[in-house]
Amino acid sequence: MIISPLRLRLDGDALVSNWRTLAAMSGGAACGAAVKANGYGLGAREVVQRLAGAGCRDFFVATWREAAGLADLGVSVSVLHGLREEDLPVAVGAATIRPVLNTVQQVQRWRDAGGRACDVMVDTGMNRLGIAPEDVSTGLLDGLEVETLMSHLASADEDVPLNRLQRDRFAALAGKSGARRMSLANSAGIGLGQGYAFDLTRPGIALYGGIPARAFAGPIRQVVTPEVQVLQRRRVAAGQSVGYNATWTAAADTEVAILNLGYADGYLRCFSDKGSAIASGFRMPVIGRVSMDLTAIDASAVPDLAEGDWVAIDYALPEAAVLSGMSQYELLTALGARYDRMWY
Ligand SMILES: *Cc1c(COP(=O)(O)O)cnc(C)c1O
């Protein structure tokens, strides 16, 4: 195995601690985990193993391809995008994986396949996925073995009337679907209070260190830190420029380090002249354009930083989101395949 010049430093204790925090905030409701998009970029299998060890029993992915990658772990997985015709051969035989049925057609498809336990998504106002509340009250699900009836909040990270409206529409379905449990809240929804928790919560971003609302800022810990190696150190004379299109010019002689990191690694060009790296406790700003595979930093603050040394990329999610204009979700899921993923 060749050691990659980029790695994600992943804090397993922080991940578990975040889940416990969210579970406590969920009150009497069980707390699951959204692990779609490869566990938001961290590696779904490792996330599932750690959280299952801590007591998490309900996992959520987007597709059957993602679910199949977790099947041997023996945990309960719900597939949020439901059930296509193409999924049936895998779906009917997968004992621990349930489709989250989203449309009348998906419900029919699952019935025709002799479907066992499933979950159902009902749309309470986001107008993305889900059957209509009226479909539930008029008997569409009769006879179906529904484990969890779900809905999803459109604006849980904001204080807007739509939250209460969606919650009330969802609560009105209690006892009408035959579902064993009801589930509404994502990470931000947990922060809205226990009136939103129902029987099961489904956090994603906050597990991984995202701060969807102020209430999370204290207890939620950072989980992901990209670390990359220095490829070259050079002195750039005053008046010389660095990088593509020469967007940065040295005002004085400057010590520059070139990092093995670029936009192909999810370190997008919006970090040009804005991001920073850290070594020995000192901050080193990104200078010039981020390239596909390379980024330059002003290394003046760390005189002994040399070729082959590792630096940490400043990746505190709320701050990095403000700086880059990307969402905390994008910051995580953009982290690509070139990183070694190292759990500590
Ligand atoms: C992604 C997702 C979640 C998790 O959302 P976060 O905002 O990351 O906590 C929960 N429920 C559904 C339906 C989702 O698609």
Confidence (pLDDT) at 1: 86
Judged against a pLDDT cut of 90, whether residue 231 lies above it is answered with yes
Residue 191 pLDDT exceeds 90: yes
The pair phi, psi for residue 141, each rounded to 5°, is -95, 0
Which atom number of ligand 1 is nearest to the Cα of residue 80?
13
Number of compact structural domains in the chain: 2
| Cα 176 from chain centroid (whole Å) | 32
Residue whose C-alpha is closest to residue 210's, from 8, 22, 13 = 22
Residues 255-275: pLDDT tens digits?
999 999 999 999 999 999 999
Is 154 in the same domain as 234?
Answer: no
Q: Are 47 and 178 in the same domain?
A: yes
The best mutation among 15, 25, 60 to test binding of ligand 1, ranked by most ligand atoms within 8 Å of the C-beta, falls on 60
State which ligand 1 atom lies nearest to the alpha carbon of 205.
8
Strand 30-31 relative to strand 200-201: parallel, antiparallel, unpaired? parallel
Domain that holds residue 285: 224-343
pLDDT of residue 115: 87
| Concatenated DSSP letters of 53-116 | HHT--EEEESSHHHHHTTGGGT-EEEETT---GGGHHHHTT-TTEEEEE-SHHHHHHHHHTT--
64 and 42 in a single domain? The answer is yes
The DSSP bridge partners found for residue 158 are none
pTM, to two decimals: 0.97
Let me know whether 315 and 172 are in one domain.
no
Angle between helix 44-54 and helix 12-25 axes, rounded to 10 deg? 60
Residue 137: predicted pLDDT? 87
Same domain as 270, residue 208: no
Angle at 343 between CA 326 and CA 188, to 5 degrees: 40
Q: What is the whole-number distance in angstroms between the Cα of residue 62 and the centre of ligand 1?
A: 10
Q: Which element (helix H / strand E) includes 236?
A: strand 224-236
pLDDT band at 298 (very low <50, low <70, confident <90, very high): very high
Kindly give the distance from the C-alpha atom of residue 283 to the centroid of ligand 1, in angstroms, as a whole number: 34
Report which ligand 1 atom has the smallest distance to the Cα of 157.
7
- The verdict on 208 and 235 lying in the same domain is no
Going by alpha carbons, the residue nearest to atom 3 of ligand 1 is: 186
Whether 80 is in the pocket of ligand 1, judged by its Cβ within 6 Å, is: yes
Q: Which residues are annotated as a binding site?
A: 128, 292
Paired residues of 78 in beta bridges: 60, 98
Taken in order 53, 56, 57, 63, the sign of the CA dihedral is negative
Residue 146: give its domain's CATH number. Answer: 3.20.20.10
Q: Is the CB of 185 under 6 A from ligand 1?
A: no
Lowest mean pLDDT among 15-19, 74-78, 214-218, 237-241: 214-218
Q: Give a yes or no: residue 105 inside a domain.
A: yes
Give the model's confidence band at 132: pLDDT under 50 very low, under 70 low, under 90 confident, else very high: very high
Give the residue from 155, 190, 212 where a domain finishes. Answer: 212
Q: Say how many Å lie between the CA of residue 23 and the centre of ligand 1.
A: 15
Query: Which ligand 1 atom is nearest residue 34's CA?
Result: 4
Q: The CATH number of the domain where 328 resides is what? A: 2.40.37.10
- Residue closest via CA to ligand 1's atom 10 equals 186
- Tell me phi and psi for residue 276, to 5 degrees: -155, 160
Asked whether residue 96 falls in the same domain as residue 126, the answer is yes
Q: Is residue 202 domain-shared with residue 255, that is, in the same domain?
A: no
- Measured between alpha carbons, how far is 43 from 81 in angstroms, rounded to an integer? 20
Q: Is residue 2 part of a domain?
A: no
C-alpha of residue 287 to centroid of ligand 1, in Å: 35
Query: Which residues are annotated as catalytic?
Result: 36, 244
* 158, 183, 212 - which closes a domain: 212
Residue 173 has pLDDT above 90, yes or no: yes
Q: Which pLDDT belongs to residue 147?
A: 98
142 and 229 housed in the same domain:
no
Give the residue numbers of the binding site for substrate.
128, 292
Reported confidence tier of residue 248, pLDDT bands at 50, 70, 90: very high
Confidence label for 307 from pLDDT (cuts 50, 70 and 90): very high
The residue whose C-alpha atom lies closest to atom 4 belonging to ligand 1 is: 204
Mutate to test the pocket of ligand 1, among 186, 208, 328 (most ligand atoms within 8 A of CB): 186
pLDDT band at 3 (very low <50, low <70, confident <90, very high): very high
> Does the pLDDT value for residue 150 go beyond 90?
yes
Q: Is 81 in the pocket of ligand 1 (CB under 6 A)?
A: no
The CA distance from 289 to 295, in Å, is 7
Q: Is the CB of 6 inside a 6 Å radius of any atom of ligand 1?
A: no
Judge if 88 and 181 occupy the same domain. yes
**For ligand 1, is residue 326 a contact (CB within 6 Å)?**
no
Average pLDDT value over all residues in the chain: 97
- Tell me the percentage of the chain whose pLDDT exceeds 70: 100
Q: Ligand 1 pocket test: pick from 152, 207, 208 the residue with the most ligand atoms within 8 Å of its Cβ.
A: 152
Mean pLDDT of 62-67: 98
